[in-house]
Amino acid sequence: MSQLTPRMKNWIEYFGGHIGTATKKGFPTTIVVETAKVEGINIIKFPLTDAQINHIKDNISENPQVAIGPGGLNCVRAPYQLKGTAKINGKELTVEVNEIYCTKPGPEAGKRLDVMPYGEVEEFDQSHWKDLTPPKG
Protein backbone atom coordinates (compact mmCIF):
# COMPACT_ATOMS: atom_id res chain seq x y z
CA MET A 1 0.00 0.00 0.00
CA SER A 2 1.28 3.47 -0.88
CA GLN A 3 1.68 6.07 1.83
CA LEU A 4 1.94 9.77 1.05
CA THR A 5 4.52 11.76 3.00
CA PRO A 6 3.48 14.95 4.82
CA ARG A 7 5.19 16.97 2.08
CA MET A 8 3.26 15.18 -0.68
CA LYS A 9 -0.01 15.74 1.20
CA ASN A 10 0.72 19.44 1.71
CA TRP A 11 1.50 20.07 -1.96
CA ILE A 12 -1.56 18.20 -3.25
CA GLU A 13 -3.87 19.93 -0.77
CA TYR A 14 -2.47 23.38 -1.53
CA PHE A 15 -2.21 23.18 -5.33
CA GLY A 16 -4.59 20.36 -6.30
CA GLY A 17 -3.52 18.39 -9.30
CA HIS A 18 -3.48 17.58 -12.97
CA ILE A 19 -5.50 14.39 -13.26
CA GLY A 20 -4.99 12.17 -16.27
CA THR A 21 -7.59 9.61 -17.27
CA ALA A 22 -7.92 7.34 -20.29
CA THR A 23 -10.51 5.22 -22.04
CA LYS A 24 -10.05 1.44 -22.12
CA LYS A 25 -8.50 1.91 -25.56
CA GLY A 26 -6.00 4.40 -24.13
CA PHE A 27 -7.37 7.73 -25.40
CA PRO A 28 -6.21 10.21 -22.73
CA THR A 29 -7.66 13.37 -21.26
CA THR A 30 -6.61 15.61 -18.37
CA ILE A 31 -8.40 17.94 -15.99
CA VAL A 32 -6.90 20.42 -13.55
CA VAL A 33 -8.40 20.62 -10.07
CA GLU A 34 -7.22 23.50 -7.90
CA THR A 35 -7.59 21.97 -4.43
CA ALA A 36 -7.77 18.59 -2.78
CA LYS A 37 -8.13 16.95 0.60
CA VAL A 38 -5.97 14.01 1.67
CA GLU A 39 -7.57 11.52 4.03
CA GLY A 40 -5.62 8.83 5.81
CA ILE A 41 -2.37 7.71 4.25
CA ASN A 42 -3.32 7.38 0.57
CA ILE A 43 -6.80 8.73 -0.22
CA ILE A 44 -7.14 12.01 -2.13
CA LYS A 45 -10.50 13.72 -2.66
CA PHE A 46 -10.86 16.35 -5.37
CA PRO A 47 -13.95 18.59 -5.56
CA LEU A 48 -15.21 18.68 -9.16
CA THR A 49 -17.35 21.03 -11.18
CA ASP A 50 -20.13 19.70 -13.41
CA ALA A 51 -17.94 20.38 -16.46
CA GLN A 52 -15.05 18.38 -14.98
CA ILE A 53 -17.35 15.48 -14.12
CA ASN A 54 -18.76 15.46 -17.64
CA HIS A 55 -15.24 15.53 -19.07
CA ILE A 56 -13.97 12.45 -17.20
CA LYS A 57 -16.99 10.40 -16.09
CA ASP A 58 -17.01 8.09 -19.12
CA ASN A 59 -13.28 7.45 -18.81
CA ILE A 60 -13.55 6.70 -15.09
CA SER A 61 -16.45 4.31 -15.65
CA GLU A 62 -14.48 2.48 -18.39
CA ASN A 63 -11.05 2.66 -16.77
CA PRO A 64 -10.73 3.83 -13.15
CA GLN A 65 -6.91 4.07 -13.30
CA VAL A 66 -5.65 7.67 -13.07
CA ALA A 67 -2.35 9.53 -12.88
CA ILE A 68 -1.96 12.71 -10.84
CA GLY A 69 0.72 15.38 -10.88
CA PRO A 70 0.66 18.23 -8.36
CA GLY A 71 -0.88 21.38 -9.83
CA GLY A 72 0.15 25.02 -9.86
CA LEU A 73 3.12 26.80 -11.32
CA ASN A 74 5.35 25.66 -8.48
CA CYS A 75 4.71 21.96 -9.14
CA VAL A 76 8.32 21.58 -10.29
CA ARG A 77 9.11 21.71 -6.55
CA ALA A 78 6.70 18.81 -6.01
CA PRO A 79 8.13 16.24 -8.43
CA TYR A 80 5.67 13.42 -7.96
CA GLN A 81 3.42 11.34 -10.11
CA LEU A 82 0.76 9.48 -8.19
CA LYS A 83 -1.16 6.61 -9.75
CA GLY A 84 -4.28 5.05 -8.39
CA THR A 85 -7.86 3.92 -8.67
CA ALA A 86 -10.57 6.57 -8.91
CA LYS A 87 -14.31 6.81 -8.52
CA ILE A 88 -16.73 9.69 -8.74
CA ASN A 89 -18.96 10.18 -5.72
CA GLY A 90 -21.42 13.01 -6.29
CA LYS A 91 -19.26 16.06 -7.06
CA GLU A 92 -16.04 14.53 -5.81
CA LEU A 93 -13.32 12.38 -7.34
CA THR A 94 -11.86 9.97 -4.80
CA VAL A 95 -8.49 8.43 -5.63
CA GLU A 96 -6.78 5.62 -3.74
CA VAL A 97 -3.08 6.10 -4.48
CA ASN A 98 -1.37 2.81 -5.32
CA GLU A 99 1.92 3.97 -6.83
CA ILE A 100 4.21 6.96 -6.28
CA TYR A 101 6.98 8.03 -8.67
CA CYS A 102 9.63 10.74 -8.56
CA THR A 103 9.52 13.02 -11.59
CA LYS A 104 12.46 15.22 -10.62
CA PRO A 105 14.68 15.70 -13.70
CA GLY A 106 17.90 13.74 -13.65
CA PRO A 107 18.94 10.26 -12.62
CA GLU A 108 16.02 9.85 -10.18
CA ALA A 109 13.34 10.58 -12.77
CA GLY A 110 10.91 7.70 -12.87
CA LYS A 111 12.12 6.20 -9.58
CA ARG A 112 9.28 4.31 -7.95
CA LEU A 113 9.00 5.43 -4.35
CA ASP A 114 6.10 3.36 -3.00
CA VAL A 115 8.13 0.14 -3.17
CA MET A 116 10.60 1.59 -0.66
CA PRO A 117 9.99 1.37 3.11
CA TYR A 118 8.06 4.46 4.24
CA GLY A 119 10.99 5.77 6.32
CA GLU A 120 13.19 5.73 3.22
CA VAL A 121 10.56 7.60 1.20
CA GLU A 122 10.35 10.28 3.91
CA GLU A 123 14.15 10.51 4.04
CA PHE A 124 14.29 10.76 0.22
CA ASP A 125 11.74 13.59 0.36
CA GLN A 126 13.58 15.45 3.12
CA SER A 127 17.03 15.03 1.57
CA HIS A 128 15.92 16.41 -1.79
CA TRP A 129 13.69 19.29 -0.67
CA LYS A 130 13.97 21.66 2.26
CA ASP A 131 10.43 23.04 2.01
CA LEU A 132 7.68 21.05 3.67
CA THR A 133 4.90 23.25 2.36
CA PRO A 134 4.35 25.16 -0.87
CA PRO A 135 5.18 28.85 -1.04
CA LYS A 136 2.29 31.08 -0.05
CA GLY A 137 1.04 32.98 -3.10
Q: pLDDT tens digits for 119-136?
A: 999 898 888 777 766 666
Model pTM greater than 0.85? yes
What gap in Å lies between CA 77 and CA 108, rounded to an integer? 14
Q: What is the model's pLDDT at position 81?
A: 94
**What was the pLDDT predicted at 104?**
83
Whether the CA torsion 42, 112, 18, 24 is positive or negative: it is negative
94 pairs with which residues across the strands?
A: 45, 87
Q: Tell me the per-residue pLDDT of 13-31, one tens digit each, with 9 for 90 and over.
A: 988 999 999 999 999 999 9
* Beta strands across the sheet bearing 28-33: 28-33, 17-22, 65-70, 80-89, 92-102, 43-47, 37-39
The reported pLDDT for the residue numbered 129 is 77
Residue 3 CB: number of other CB atoms within 10 A? 16
Specify whether the CB–CB gap between 5 and 121 falls below 8 A: yes
- Give the residue among 48, 41, 50 at the shortest CA–CA distance from 97: 41
Closest CA to 70 of 40, 44, 96: 44
Q: All domains of the chain, ordered by start, with CATH?
A: 6-112 (2.30.110.10)
Task: Provide mean pLDDT across the span 106-126.
Answer: 90
The pLDDT of residue 87 is: 98
Query: What pLDDT, on a 0 to 100 scale, did the predictor assign at position 31?
Result: 96
